[in-house]
Amino acid sequence: MSCPASTLIEIDGGMLEGGGQILRLALAFSALRTIPVRVRNIRAGRSSPGLRAQHLRGVQIVQQMTGGTLKGADIGSTSIEFHPGRIRGGEYSADTQTAGSIGLLIQVALPCALFSDKVTVLKLKGGTNAEMAPQFDYTTEVFRPLLEKFGATFDYKIIKRGYYPRGGGEVHIRVRPVQKIEPVEMTESGRVVRMWGWAFVAGALPIKMAEVMADSASRVLKKSYPDAEVNIEPYKEAPDEAVGSGSGINVVAQTDKGCLLGGSALGKRELKAEEVGQKAAEELLESVRTGACVDNYAQDQVILLMAIAGGKSRVKCGPVTLHTQTAIHIAELLTQAKFNIVKLGPDSNIIECDGISLINNNNVSTS
């Protein structure tokens, strides 16, 4: 099901959350449903509006994957127009040439790859662990298992880590296409049985910093969940496996109902290593305490999947974030999906969606 090719849909990129998320969702839905879009006021809610390098590369890779036409795609541009063609698999590359997030490139390109005609390999360069974006570790350890509940997945290989300000990281993603996305029912969070994670340093930073982050996070988590298994490992990136110096920590909680929730923090000059570990642990505990089945990062990422799934999906979450509200608005604007928020309490909700049952009409090859 799609709109006539002549129907151009206008989207205000400054509404609600007002950031790059609107652009990524608009491009992905445009490609999936073959709907031309014009996005104006791009990133109007940010201190430096318009396309930055990572946003431009995301737009360009979707254009390449669809063979579509693209107008206005330049650094600083506040308006683009995109007319998608048919999604084709193959090998595609994108390089932010900055520390721009590889994780955000995946958010726009992955849905397209899932509905291509054959296996897609994405060779992405930029920052693997960046501020204001999911760390690549989160994408593989929390989002990928969640994606598998919807009947899809991807393989990956980290060629090199890249940290702010240099970037220079490289990740390869291999995506097998699907015929459709399955609906999910995730309304029982269950009991936390295991918490694990990894604290890392790279470049000139000492391994001691990673050890302090790991110990700090472990103490916080064990205090709140003394009966859960807690294991956070510190490690140092080999010199040939990272560009620049960086540090951070990722922590994950697993429940007996199969829910995975994440928390993370990156090292900063103004933060002690102990504070970084504590920050990541507290972020994770905030999601766990709401009884959610997905954390705040995944909450808005599942909206696209719910919208195109073949049936009704229900996902329990914490407070509905502005990012999620924005994602729902764009999904309803560009599809016939219908969303509903069921309020369970002050910090607990269920997101319901009647998906559009998008079908991959390509002659799919998964070899």
Q: Which of 221, 227, 321, 302 is nearest to 259 (CA)?
A: 302
The catalytic residue among 55, 83, 323, 329 is: 323
Q: Residue 143 phi/psi, 5° resolution?
A: -70, -40
Three-point CA angle 98, 104, 108, nearest 5°: 125
Which pair of tokens denotes residue 197? Answer: 């994670």
Q: Provide the angle, in degrees to the nearest 10, between the axes of the packed helices 322-334 and 20-33.
A: 30
Active site residue 329: no
Tell me which residue has tokens 């390089």.
95
**What does the buried/exposed string (b/e) look like for 107-144 if buried means 16 or more CB atoms within 10 Å of the residue's CB?**
bbbbbbbbbbbbbbebebbbbbbbeebbbbbbbbbbbb
Query: C-alpha distances in angstroms, 69 versus 30, 40, 61, 73, 85?
Result: 12, 17, 12, 10, 8
Distance CA(39)–CA(42), nearest Å, equals: 7
CB 311 within 8 A of CB 183: yes
Within the chain, residue ranges assigned H as helices are 20-33, 53-66, 102-114, 136-138, 144-149, 207-224, 273-289, 296-308, 322-334
Distance CA(300)–CA(272), nearest Å, equals: 30
CB 98 within 8 A of CB 65: no
Tell me which residue has tokens 């007319």.
83
Which pair of tokens denotes residue 211? Answer: 């050890």
Enzyme catalytic residues: 323
